[in-house]
Every structure is written in structure tokens, then in C-alpha cells.
Amino acid sequence: MITLELEEVEIDHCTDCGGIWLDAGELELLLGEPEKAKQLLDSFNIDSKSAENVRKCPICDKKMKKIIVGQSTPVLLIDKCPRGDGLWFDKGELHDIFGRAKLDEDSKVQKLLSRMFGHNQEKQN
Ligand SMILES: [Zn+2]
């Protein structure tokens, strides 16, 4: 994992799988709009019958819970530490969640994310 700094928030990025770890509270910081952040967090639902592989929290090593974000399809499933250490996003999911939070298309965070991860994808091809 490498640490990236995005809008003064440190995020951990796994260069092997493209996943991203956010410590508790960092998603809210990145969203920057408390009202939208709250709406998004309120839309989290635990999915107890997910077929996705269980991940372990990088901080406490406990099995993380699968969380469905919002109601929209296709379903966006992220992983959440049961102790509340933070959230894990598989490749592309962080991008996806900002899209669903209906942030401004050209907000700073969106631009930074596309620059960072758009660039990575180019290198792989
Ligand atoms: Zn944990």
C-alpha cells in the first residue's frame, strides 16, 4: 500500500489491486459537503448475504462487513470495519461513490481522482 494525499486527506492506495482504504471520517472530509456526506452515510445498509469475498480490516484484522450504498442499481458494495476503523473501496468504487453522492462533476476531488486513477489505467494498457 502507498499513501496518497488528496485534498490534505491521507488515503491508502493498494497498487496491486487498485483498492483504497479510508480511515474513519476521511470520506466525510473528502466529500467536503457535510449534508451530502450525511445522506450518503445514512444510506449504508449491511448486506449479510453477500457472495463477495470477505476482506480483513488492515488496522484491526477483523473481518469487515459488506455495506450496500444507497438504493441505486447496479449495487455498490463496500467493506466496513466492524469496529469502525474505516472503509475499503475496491478499484473504481471510490469514484463511483462520489458519483452517487451527486458531487459537482468538476469538483476538485473528482478531478484529482480522475487524474490519479485515469493515469494509472493508461499505464496498465
Ligand atoms: Zn478494523
The runs of H, that is alpha helices, within 5-125 are 26-31, 34-42, 93-100, 108-124
How far, in Å, from the CA of 57 to the mean position of ligand 1?
Answer: 5
How far, in Å, from the CA of 56 to the mean position of ligand 1?
Answer: 8
How far, in Å, from the CA of 106 to the mean position of ligand 1?
Answer: 33
Q: How many CA atoms lie within 13 A of 5 on its CB side?
A: 1
Q: From first to last of the 125 residues of the chain, give the pLDDT tens digit.
A: 899 887 788 889 999 999 999 999 999 888 888 888 888 899 999 998 888 899 999 999 999 999 999 887 888 999 999 999 999 999 989 888 887 877 666 666 777 777 776 654 444 44
How far, in Å, from the CA of 63 to the mean position of ligand 1?
Answer: 8
